Amino acid sequence: MTAEHDAAVGGRAVVPVSFYQAFVFWLKLGFISFGGPAGQIAIMHEELVEKRRWLSERRFLHALNYCMLLPGPEAQQLAIYIGWLLHRTWGGIVAGVLFVLPSLFILITLGWVYLAFGDVPLVAGIFYGIKPAVTAVVFQAAWRIGGRALKNRWLWAIAAAAFVAIFFLRLPFPLIVIGAGVLGALGGWLAPRYFQLGGGHGAADKHYGPALIDDDTPPPEHARFSWWRLTRLLLVGGVLWLLPMALLVALYGWQGHLTQMGWFFTKAALLTFGGAYAVLPYVYQGAVTGHGWVTPTQMIDGLALGESTPGPLIMVVAFVAFVGGYVLELFGPEQAFLAGALAATLVTWFTFLPSFLFILGGGPLVESTHNELKFTAPLTGITAAVVGVILNLALFFGYHVLWPQGFDGRFDWASAVIAALAALALLHFKRGVMETLTGAALLGLLVFWLGLAS
């Protein structure tokens, strides 16, 4: 915010936020944003609404509701939105970039350690324990999202149909998303009371004192809708996508691995309705079965690393790209790390570029329609389908963890025990994901030490 906005209620003053103060906060957030979207949103709420009072509860939830409607990581998009509201376009860009940049560097480093030292007993034991725990984490995600989303028999039917479509019929994930959206739209028209969004985050009934951007603070000049601004943004966004893609095609051809990674993860970025767990089946369909960039085991290990590092969970795509570029030796055996790092960086660019365009382009419309967002029935249908898709993902992981050599091979009892204990910790004792993964890693080391690993 460029204009002074000082307010006092009960002697508590609100002071403007400088660009430097915001920069420091977004940088800090990039290193502490553990816990998936729920944990990241909780951190931002506590810091920005309760403690710093950069914006009010209602304005925070208004922005969050918009981000929930979009494909892409809602926590990162919320950071972009708040950064943009405070300090215009560059504020949004800085907030969004710093939200993912630490995670990118960390995952490139961990990806290299994983490939270079994965056969060392210490590292192998840790991953042996984490993989079955990740299976339990994905089952928990299906349970948690299902409990929130499947409120009636119509939504249960959509979830079941999505599971059948992907598990038995092997239909592509984009087709399932489109079908669920159409069913949701029809349901919203024919039976609207069954397809309401449900106000997932509750009403804004709390007040923490005056805020810099308060309930009645008018949108700043840059947050007012303008067709010229929207057109200019879309043109710039198109160029930022087209230039690197054209360069990749010129250097490696359309079928080159880096080109196909850019194209594939652009499509993935537009399909992440319902969070990262929803798009992971599409990622493994393409990255594992379609292109062979990673193996099923590497995909599970990548998800384990994504769960235990800061940043959006969808950053697992950076690990997938790093492993693909490194193992395929795209620049030759002596430049394997460079190939992996470049692949991870390119994929991160193509995955997150749409998020910036959605917020910087749609933010002014949202600011002019406080709490009047409509047309949510298709999203309700897609969210229901996501439950069935995530259940399929959990079964996929479970199969590769418990029968590592296939159904004809030996059943891995040690992994089954670790998975059961992880599920118990998550679902019954309500332990956190990081805590559960740490315990599973220690159990994996113990199993390796005792020589019980299959």
Give per-residue pLDDT as tens, 363-399: 888 776 554 444 567 877 877 887 888 788 788 778 8
245-261 pLDDT, tens digit each: 999 999 999 999 999 99
Q: Is residue 289 part of a domain?
A: yes
**pLDDT bracket for residue 272 (50, 70, 90):** low
Rounded CA separation 261/278 (Å): 19
Please check whether residue 204 lies inside any domain of the structure.
no
Lowest mean pLDDT, pick from 2-6, 127-131, 237-241: 2-6
Reference 112, options 344, 448, 346, 445; nearest CA is 344
224 against 414, higher pLDDT: 414
pLDDT at position 38 is: 63
What pTM was estimated for this model as a whole? 0.75
Q: 439 pLDDT exceeds 50?
A: yes
- Host domain of residue 385: 23-198+209-214+239-450
The tokens 């991953």 sit on which residue? Answer: 127
Average pLDDT taken over every residue of the chain: 84
Whether 424 contacts 132, CB under 8 Å: no
Separation between Cα atoms, residue 134 and residue 426, nearest integer Å: 11
pLDDT classification of 2: cutoffs 50, 70, 90: very low
Question: What pLDDT digit, counting tens, does each position of 318-365 carry?
Answer: 999 999 999 998 998 899 999 999 999 999 999 999 999 999 998 888
Residue 107 lies inside a defined structural domain of this protein:
yes
Task: Examine residue 139 and state whether it is found in any structural domain, yes or no.
Answer: yes
Q: What is the pLDDT, as a whole number, of residue 378?
A: 80
Please say if the pLDDT value at position 230 is more than 80: yes
Assess if residue 159 is contained within a domain.
Answer: yes
> So what's the pLDDT on residue 3?
42
What is the pLDDT at residue 446? 93
Would you say residue 279 has pLDDT above 80?
no
* Residue 317 belongs to a domain: yes
pLDDT at residue 34 in the model = 66
As a whole number, mean pLDDT of residues 18-42 equals 83
Q: Which of 188-192, 429-433, 445-449 has the highest mean pLDDT?
A: 445-449
Q: Give the pLDDT score at 249.
A: 97
pLDDT band at 4 (very low <50, low <70, confident <90, very high): very low
CA distances for 121 relative to 1, 361, 392, 414, angstroms: 53, 50, 31, 16
Q: Is residue 7 part of a domain?
A: no
Span of 94-103, 198-207, 362-371, 422-431 with lowest mean pLDDT: 198-207
| Residues contacting 217, CB < 8 A, separation 6+ | 5, 59, 211
Measured between alpha carbons, how far is 367 from 358 in angstroms, rounded to an integer? 14
Number of separate domains in the chain: 1
Higher pLDDT, residue 43 or 349: 349
In a domain, 383, yes or no: yes
| Selected residue with higher pLDDT from 327 and 148 | 327
* 177 pLDDT more than 90: no
